[in-house]
Amino acid sequence: MTEHDGIDDLWGETFPEAARLYERALKVFPNGVTHDNRFHKPFPIYIRRAQGARKWDVDGREYVDYTMGHGALLLGHAHPTLVKAVAEQVALGTHYGACHELEVVWGQLVIDLVPSAERVRFTASGTEATLMAFRLCRAFTGKRKIVKFEGHFHGWHDNAFIGVQPPYNVPAPGVLKEVHDSVILCPPNDAGRLDEILSKEKDVALVVIEPTGAGFGTIPTQPGFLKELREITSAHGVLLHFDEVITGFRCAPGGAQAYYGVKPDITTLAKILAGGMPGGCVTGRADLLELLEEKGYRGQRFVHPGTFNANPVSAAAGVATLQAVASGEEIARANRAAVTLRRRLNDAIEARKLPWCAYGTFSEFYILPDCGGPQAAEEVVAGRFDYRRLKGGNPELSRKFRSAMTLNGVDMHGMKGLLSSVHTDEDLDQTMQAFDRSVDMLKKEGLV
Ligand SMILES: Cc1ncc(COP(=O)(O)O)c(C=O)c1O
């Protein structure tokens, strides 16, 4: 590295092996990547192995990791208990094409931990889980429409990928207009607007929400809103769906519903549920999930095959993880590390007089530029900040910030990240050093 090199020049010099792999990947994958969040310009880094809170790439560099398997890892990478459980299961067979004991143990753990869980059906991903939940609610109520909140993410199937990124009312390419029109968008935290929608619109089967807010709290749900939501949906006879794919087993062993004491009718789970392996589930009221039974419900039956439902390897990882999170200690540890990191980021922002803040709840953090300074963090969490400015942000700053942090030994998705129970003070120290150096690099480029 030389003094005057820009961030993109340094990137090219620093990651020659990744550059070579990316050239090959471009001929294989659209944009050279297999998940949109892994796309990065000029090219992404390539990881070779991971352990605890750390990852190592093909160019021999080490990172403190804040991507944590897109939120699937609460116990960090390659947790010894998990490695043992998965290795033992692989040796016993990876797919029986039949029922097996571990799936019963896994499902029972969901019922024991999650307050609203009376019955469980496993799927292969969170997207499959919300797909099932939406269809179940429609079949159960005989109603067609879904109400969701602007910015909230529920996977990428046709009914879910609506109103996720601003501008919220533009249909995604390939999604039929009638499907788009069957989803009604409500501004986040707006109980009055929701009541108005449900008073006017009599064809609504469910209201779905990411309980802590869009993008795991990027647009935070305000304290008290979930209780109002429960009251409003009950008053209108509309089903309430908590999409806890990311909050499940992260906010509390019983998810956000346990933490906030609000019981939805139906819940979707994935990520931590399967301990970093593929897997998801729908759980909730027994009468709703009865639609999947042979006898069905009012003469209807929901048919649900799925090659990887309750796959034994995912079940082994899921059981090991849920047993580890059940006491709440691992969750508390991740939350404490996140509180410290947000505070230290805000101290550094304040010291450098940047118009940024670090905010978040539970084990995540977001760095918001152009908000006036750290005092904005409280405003954002309390819902007094314009929510339309919280998603999308400043893509060029976010890209360069991510690049600079990577060059300084920290991997995160843009200006946000997730912590695990194994992030240590040393990891945070290294992160803060990386933050300081990264801000210096951004200054040189005139970005701050
Ligand atoms: C709240 C929420 N719902 C659904 C999904 C989709 O889950 P998957 O990526 O397992 O399909 C995600 C993934 O990030 C999510 O955060």
In angstroms, rounded to a whole number, what is the distance separating the alpha carbons of residues 419 and 216? 13
Cα 241 to middle of ligand 1, angstroms: 14
Cα 2 to middle of ligand 1, angstroms: 41
Which of the listed residues 295, 325, 355 is the one where a domain comes to its end? 325
How many Cβ atoms are within 10 Å of 261's Cβ, its own excluded? 11
Atom of ligand 1 nearest to the CA of 152: 1
Residues 87 and 228 in one domain: yes
Asked, for residue 433, whether it belongs to a domain, the answer is yes
Q: Provide the pLDDT for residue 216.
A: 93
Residues 22 and 92 in one domain: no
Q: Provide the pLDDT for residue 297.
A: 80
Which of the listed residues 272, 290, 325 is the one where a domain comes to its end? 325
Residues 209 and 341 in one domain: no
Residues 44 and 139 in one domain: no
Give nearest CA residue, ligand 1 atom 9. 126
| Secondary structure (DSSP) of 346-373 | HHHHHHTT-S-EEE-STTEEEEE-SSSS
In tens digits, the chain (448 residues) has pLDDT values of: 444 579 999 999 999 999 999 999 999 999 999 999 899 999 999 999 999 999 999 999 999 999 999 999 999 999 999 999 999 999 999 999 999 999 999 999 999 999 999 999 999 999 999 999 999 999 999 999 999 999 999 999 999 999 998 888 888 899 999 999 999 999 999 999 999 999 999 999 999 999 999 999 999 999 899 999 999 999 999 999 999 999 999 999 999 999 999 999 999 999 999 999 999 999 999 999 999 998 888 888 999 999 999 999 999 999 999 999 999 999 999 999 999 999 999 999 999 999 999 999 999 999 999 999 999 999 999 889 999 999 877 899 999 999 999 999 999 999 999 999 999 999 999 999 999 999 999 999 999 9
The dihedral built from the CA positions of residue 140, 145, 150 and 156, taken in this order, carries a sign that is positive
* Residue whose CB lies within 8 A of the most ligand 1 atoms, among 73, 245, 271, for a mutation test: 245
Residue where the block lists tokens 């109400």? 147
- Domain total of the chain: 2
Residues 91 and 67 in one domain: no
Atom of ligand 1 nearest to the CA of 130: 4
CB 375 within 8 A of CB 352: no
Ligand 1 site, CB within 6 A: 70, 125-127, 130, 153-155, 210, 243, 245-246, 270, 280
**Strands of 416-418's sheet in order across:** 357-359, 364-368, 416-418
Asked, for residue 387, whether it belongs to a domain, the answer is yes
Atom of ligand 1 nearest to the CA of 243: 1
- Tokens of residue 184, six digits: 């009604």
How many Cβ atoms are within 10 Å of 194's Cβ, its own excluded? 24
Residues 190 and 227 in one domain: yes
Residues 314 and 189 in one domain: yes
Atom of ligand 1 nearest to the CA of 271: 10
Cα 441 to middle of ligand 1, angstroms: 33
Q: Provide the pLDDT for residue 1.
A: 45
Cα 343 to middle of ligand 1, angstroms: 28
Cα 37 to middle of ligand 1, angstroms: 12
Residues 115 and 191 in one domain: yes
Q: Provide the pLDDT for residue 2.
A: 46
Residues 318 and 394 in one domain: no
How many Cβ atoms are within 10 Å of 355's Cβ, its own excluded? 14
**What's 302's domain CATH number?**
3.40.640.10
Cα 15 to middle of ligand 1, angstroms: 30
Asked, for residue 98, whether it belongs to a domain, the answer is yes
Cα 136 to middle of ligand 1, angstroms: 18
Atom of ligand 1 nearest to the CA of 71: 14
* Residue whose CB lies within 8 A of the most ligand 1 atoms, among 38, 73, 146, 246, for a mutation test: 246
In angstroms, rounded to a whole number, what is the distance separating the alpha carbons of residues 32 and 24? 8
Give nearest CA residue, ligand 1 atom 7. 126
Domain extent at residue 288: 80-325
Cα 341 to middle of ligand 1, angstroms: 25
Asked, for residue 2, whether it belongs to a domain, the answer is no
Atom of ligand 1 nearest to the CA of 155: 6
Residues 311 and 371 in one domain: no
How many Cβ atoms are within 10 Å of 255's Cβ, its own excluded? 30
* Residue whose CB lies within 8 A of the most ligand 1 atoms, among 122, 148, 269, 271, for a mutation test: 271
Atom of ligand 1 nearest to the CA of 244: 1
Atom of ligand 1 nearest to the CA of 210: 1
Cα 178 to middle of ligand 1, angstroms: 23
In angstroms, rounded to a whole number, what is the distance separating the alpha carbons of residues 369 and 448? 9
| Secondary structure (DSSP) of 1-44 | --TT--HHHHHHHH-HHHHHHHHHHHTTSGGG-SSGGG--SS--
Percentages helix, strand, coil for the chain (3-state, rounded to 5) are 45, 15, 40
Asked, for residue 1, whether it belongs to a domain, the answer is no
Give nearest CA residue, ligand 1 atom 13. 155
- Tokens of residue 190, six digits: 């707006």
